[in-house]
């Protein structure tokens, strides 16, 4: 069975602070994908990024970066110089080949001006 | 560029009433699914479909019914609403089932907020 743990239920930061959202996963499968989704206050869920189990390169996209480490089964998400528009619930998800997709319970990020 | 369309956005039901949440996608996706989102519980899979005529149960299927007569539509039926079904419901689709195409991201509708009194 697989599991995704987002231990941080809520995080509050002040604008321009850097913040890291943690995601730890468990799976016995060797082929899998990891995802991050964003749910802003308006409610819709939006796909942010995907990473496969064979590619441990970190990725940077503007203020966002993702650190995938198989050794610690983690796929953490960092926002640099946070902005109010980053306020949202962020979900990490694990999708192993031949198994069901599993979401973490989400981390609510509140960025104050 | 519609993507996944859910209706209605809001609904209030009395206990025992039935209703159908509608979901339609225009991306020719084979896989469609329904999730419910509750505080502290994350997203839980209710039912899913890997193609027209094929449906299967997810993690929390009790009290819900689905059918998939076309590729585009995947309605969710509440047979006899209960207060425990008060939740936000999301329909999601992807090009392939996660089990077969784990690299396909889900495309979500905007959600339906359902209250059962």
What is the reported pLDDT for B102? 83
A45 to B99: CB separation less than 8 angstroms, yes or no: no
| Beta-carbon separation of B108 and A96 below 8 A | no
Instruction: Determine the Cα angle at A13 with ends B105 and A6, to 5°.
Output: 40
Q: Look up residue A98 and give its DSSP letter.
A: T
Q: What is the pLDDT of residue B24?
A: 97
Alpha-carbon B66 to chain mean position:
8
Distances (CA, A) of A33 to A61, A79, A94, A103, B54: 19, 21, 6, 12, 25
In DSSP terms, which residues pair with A64 in a beta bridge? A61, A79
Query: In this predicted model, what pLDDT tens digit does every residue of B47-64 receive, in sequence order?
Result: 999 999 999 999 999 999
Q: Shortest Cα distance from B70 to chain A (angstroms)? A: 23
Contact B42 A105 (CB under 8 A): yes
Q: Across the interface, do B103 and A52 touch by the CB < 8 Å criterion?
A: yes
Start-end of H helices in B56-105:
none
Compare CB distances from A91 to B40, B43, B102 and report the shortest one's residue.
B43
Q: Rounded to a whole number, what is the distance in Å from the CA of B81 to chain A's nearest CA?
A: 23
What's the pLDDT tens digit per position in B69-98? 999 999 999 999 999 999 999 999 999 888
3-class SS at B84?
Answer: helix
- Residue B100's pLDDT is 84
CB contacts under 8 A, B 55-114 vs A, are 58, 88, 90, 92, 98-100, 102-103, 105-111
Longest dimension (CA), chain B: 40
């Amino acid at each position: 069975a697989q599991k995704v743990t987002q231990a941080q239920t809520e995080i509050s930061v002040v604008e321009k602070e850097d913040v890291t959202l943690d995601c730890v996963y468990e799976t016995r499968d060797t082929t899998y994908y990891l995802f991050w989704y964003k749910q802003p206050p308006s409610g819709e869920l939006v796909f942010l990024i995907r990473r496969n189990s064979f590619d441990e390169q970190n990725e940077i996209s503007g203020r966002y970066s993702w650190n995938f480490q198989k050794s610690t089964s983690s796929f953490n998400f960092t926002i640099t110089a946070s902005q109010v528009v980053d306020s949202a619930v962020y979900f990490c998800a694990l999708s192993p080949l031949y198994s069901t997709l599993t979401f973490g319970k989400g981390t609510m990020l509140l960025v104050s001006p | 560029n519609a993507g996944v369309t859910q209706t209605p956005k809001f609904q209030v039901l009395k206990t025992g009433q039935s209703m159908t949440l509608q979901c339609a996608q225009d991306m020719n996706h084979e896989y469609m699914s329904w999730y419910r989102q509750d505080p502290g519980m994350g997203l839980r899979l209710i039912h899913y479909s890997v193609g027209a005529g094929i449906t299967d149960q997810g993690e929390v299927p009790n009290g819900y019914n689905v059918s998939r007569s076309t590729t585009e539509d995947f309605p969710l039926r509440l047979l006899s609403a209960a207060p425990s079904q008060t939740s936000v419901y999301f329909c999601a689709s992807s090009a392939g089932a996660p089990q077969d195409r784990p690299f396909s991201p889900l495309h979500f509708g905007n959600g339906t907020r359902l209250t059962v009194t």
